[in-house]
Structure 1
């Protein structure tokens, strides 16, 4: 009897290609920016197999991405920027792959690559300006570089990716606080002043936005929620997405979920989600990924 592993079912490569087109814009997962991660002359901002590496390599990020977009939509300034400047309705995958590129490059790239990617995002943010109706009902100006908006996006992102990873029940080196402290580096790169370093501090800041009346539910929030419920995915991808959406909703605290106009499903969606994530993990693990490119750079540098 052979001890070699059994080959992956024929549908695994097909599923992997569809996932990677949605996430990275390339069916092989080796978009030019991913291949470039193997290059560079430094170890990067995040330690190999550390908290950020572990969380962002996990399939819980599929839940986290949906959750982050839902939570971010509650800040009318952040939502105005998306509404006025993003083409998420016409090109939802394009917006997704742009965000994935930033996360992947910061997490696994060299410091030079991460700084260049941060600068690229920053140049776009310089143009994102306009007006919005604040939580208190008054008209205000917004800028994507405004400290409160940048902070809210960082908080929502960090909390979403931590919660998404916990759905998968995979361990985090050092625990949840270690991830919050690790990813605070990304916050600082985006000019967030003194980002939270523990989960308790993170949740306290999120609650503060709600208690100060800075968050708001309006027709634009309803529009984003409707879109995220039914994006243009079909077949197995569409079915899996509905499970992931339900899981994202289930992980949102009731006070924020109520503002979004969403209810937690009475079904055991987190249990079903873990099955979906395991299948996805097998599919994505059947070929090279960004962390493999990062390890190639680290081995070349002797790190």
Structure 2
């Protein structure tokens, strides 16, 4: 029979039925239409988030500064897991499914030309807010707000005007990050109670407000958040446009870094938590057989993770934050 994880990956190996992309690269078998073209870039290079652009925190101020979250928070417990990073694809696809978000990325970034550079900068920002000192986190948020203030345009498919500082757009992006992290953690790390989910959401409120989401719009529970997200999808406010489909190709079918086995595994984990209608809209084949295989992978992952050494299991930013605090907190605390 073989190991569950290996069995789950077998359907993804390129076989005779898998088409080839230009240049001889094979299309992953989960793709249902292997001939979609790309839109040309309409925008300018995006401002880059570099560590050097952010305000430096004096060493004396950094020591003992737990930032926005800190030891004992649900944020640190969940966001430190490397496996949660595999949900980045899911969050990204959900974000692009808002036509205004897709238009903004297409028109105001170099994502098509440098998708993994964009991912790297996004991770720097995300981990600086999650695990950095208060000064560093506030610096990142200020930097992001400055970028968003200059982002506006027209959605090509509808002609609607958009602004990146639109509170509903900001809430949608925030919701995708919260929802995806919770789904991945609950499925692949350990079960999360409803109360813990709501606590994780509440912990993220100060960050969301600083980024421009009015507190009055913020859902009180994760259940409310998910109902709102589902209603936006069902009502057509969130829908996969040709722009979103084109942008998704750079991540779903990368031509180089990272190695294929890495992005294949990450994508499968992400696909397992996405709504079926979103998967279909992006042309991703996801049947019962693959869903059952990933359920077995999730079981194996939950059992194996406690045995994985910390340097492999947890993101470097969390380990650096613990060193900064020098609290001596237990690795699983």
Which band: TM-score by shorter chain?
A: 0.7 to 0.9
Quick check: which one's helix share is greater?
A: 1
Structure 1 residues 82-138: Cα deviation after superposition (integer angstroms, max 9, x where no partner): 1111212221221111111121111112222211110011111122111104xxx64
| Cα separation, partners in 2 of 1:161 and 1:216, compared to 1, 3 Å | same
For these two proteins, the number of residue pairs brought into alignment is 265
SS at match of 1:48: coil
Contact between 2:129 and 2:137, CA under 8 Å: does it hold in 1?
Answer: yes
Q: Distance in 2 between matches of 1:100 and 1:274?
A: 27
For structure 1, the 5+ residue unaligned runs are: 1-30
Aligned ranges 1:196-211 → 2 under 5 Å: 196-211=219-234
248-257 vs 52-61, which deviates more? 248-257
For structure 2, the 5+ residue unaligned runs are: 1-50, 328-333
Q: Quote how far apart the aligned CAs of 1:276 are.
A: 7.6
Aligned ranges 1:1-303 → 2 under 5 Å: 40=62, 42-133=65-156, 138-171=158-191, 175-194=196-215, 195-233=218-256, 237-265=259-287, 266-267=289-290, 268-272=293-297, 282=309, 284-285=311-312, 289-299=316-326
206-215 vs 152-161, which deviates more? 206-215
| Cα separation, partners in 2 of 1:119 and 1:150, compared to 1, 3 Å | same
Q: Quote how far apart the aligned CAs of 1:204 are.
A: 1.4
238-247 vs 266-275, which deviates more? 266-275
What root-mean-square deviation, in Å, do the aligned CA atoms of Structure 1 and Structure 2 show?
Answer: 3.1
SS at match of 2:272: helix
Q: Quote how far apart the aligned CAs of 1:176 are.
A: 1.9
Structure 1 residues 134-168: Cα deviation after superposition (integer angstroms, max 9, x where no partner): xxx64111111111211111111111111122232
TM-score (norm 2): 0.70
Q: Distance in 2 between matches of 1:161 and 1:286?
A: 15
TM-score (norm 1): 0.76
| Cα separation, partners in 2 of 1:285 and 1:138, compared to 1, 3 Å | closer
